[in-house]
A and B are shown apart, each in its own frame.
Chain A
Amino acid sequence: MKPKELKHIAPTLVEIQNNGTGFKLPKNYFKEIENKVFGQLFLTSLPTKLGHQVPKDYFEQVENQITSKLQLNKNTRVENDLPVDYFENFEDKLFKRLASEKETKVFSLKKYWIPVAIAASLLLFISIYNPFKEDKSLDIAEIEAWIEEGNLDLNSYEMADLYDFEMDNIAIKPNLNTNDIEDYLLEEIDESIFYN
């Protein structure tokens, strides 16, 4: 199409032909584009594959391996499942256990004195009523038989509670003899409790 023809069919277009498109571009764009292209060329020249190998038939077997592992994990999980409300009840259980251990500890201090107290009580009783006048010697079997007949109606805890002294302040003598025990009980114990 010659200019004359163009002017004839499109006078408006001819009039604005030298106006251009109106597009502009960033400053220094054409100065930087060459380095950008070389940068892209370098990036695209880098290897896209890592070169790693996989064992033969790996991809045929991997699904089965994953399925087996999942199944194994599932079973383990069932065995390890916690009881319902485990964490909700944990604190209560822990405090109960602590309280229980505390009580046991108190009684464990007294337990050294319980056999001593029983023996001492028996000796005191015997010294008062003297049921074995003919035979001064007293063996364990006879004492056990006497207790089994119901002559001593006290359990060890009740007896321990009767003492109002501090247990911790008493030095335990490993080799106590009968006289020592008698002396001690005569001084410390109100024997009227045995008659009630």
Chain B
Amino acid sequence: MIDDKTLVAELQNKSTLDRAFRVLMTEYKQRLYWHIRKIVVIHEDADDVLQNTFIKVYRNINSFKGESKLYSWLYRIATNESITLINKRAKHQQIESEELQQQLVNNLQADVYFEGDEIQWKLQKAIAQLPQKQQLVFNMKYFDNMKYQDISEILETSVGGLKANYHHAVKKIEKYLTSN
């Protein structure tokens, strides 16, 4: 596996860009897809956002200065693209983004790309009740077991703040699961 430093160097070299970009996509496409999917819920939207994320990376790779990990930079772009899509959809429907996510999750059982059982659907509904920041932190920590330091780089939030967010999220979800 190629290390990030070499990969970035090849991505920033016009003659090796396309080849290196394929390597980058192969390495990150699955992780980024699932990160995006947990935010936008629907596969078709996740597909759009993933493509937009990679296109942004391709076009802006020369602006990456290596101050954060390549991995964090990619996740930050993917997170921003996902939130932008959700906010745009919510604005179009003149509702809050959390309300839109609740609508999306409520319709999940009719979605051909959802095969979760009752408890998995209930968990998705519980997550959708949370404020956006708590949702993001919960998903990255609970499902992907990411380190607080990495999440901090992605969300540009202090580790302490993230821990507090996660703690509140966990308690609310547990309450939702046991009381509904």
Interface residues of A (CB under 8 A from B): 1, 6, 9-13, 16-17, 19-26, 29-30, 33-34, 36-38, 40-41, 44
Q: B157: shortest Cβ distance to chain A, in Å?
A: 16
Tell me which residues across on chain B come within 8 A of A44, comparing CB atoms: 55
Tell me which residues across on chain B come within 8 A of A13, comparing CB atoms: 142, 170, 173-174, 177
Q: By the criterion CB–CB under 8 Å, are A33 and B177 in contact? A: no
Contact among A10, A22, A40 with B124 in the assembled complex (CB-CB below 8 Å): A22
- Please report whether the interface of chain A is mostly helix, strand, loop or mixed according to DSSP: helix
Q: By the criterion CB–CB under 8 Å, are A23 and B29 in contact? A: no
Tell me which residues across on chain B come within 8 A of A37, comparing CB atoms: 25, 51, 54-55, 58
Tell me, in angstroms, the Cα distance from A19 to B122 when the chains sit together. 12
Tell me, in angstroms, the Cα distance from A165 to B174 when the chains sit together. 121
Contact among A10, A24, A25, A41 with B174 in the assembled complex (CB-CB below 8 Å): A10
Tell me which residues across on chain B come within 8 A of A38, comparing CB atoms: 18
Q: By the criterion CB–CB under 8 Å, are A19 and B26 in contact? A: no
Q: B52: shortest Cβ distance to chain A, in Å?
A: 8
Binary interface encoding of chain B residues 43-59 relative to chain A, with 1 for a CB under 8 A from any of its CBs, else 0: 10011001100110010
Q: By the criterion CB–CB under 8 Å, are A25 and B113 in contact? A: yes
Task: Please tell me if B159 contacts chain A, counting CB pairs below 8 Å.
Answer: no
What are 27 A-B pairs at a CB distance below 8 A?
A1-B141, A1-B170, A6-B170, A9-B167, A9-B170, A9-B174, A10-B171, A10-B173, A13-B142, A16-B119, A16-B120, A19-B117, A19-B120, A20-B116, A20-B143, A22-B114, A23-B43, A23-B116, A24-B113, A25-B33, A25-B43, A33-B33, A33-B51, A34-B25, A37-B25, A41-B55, A41-B58
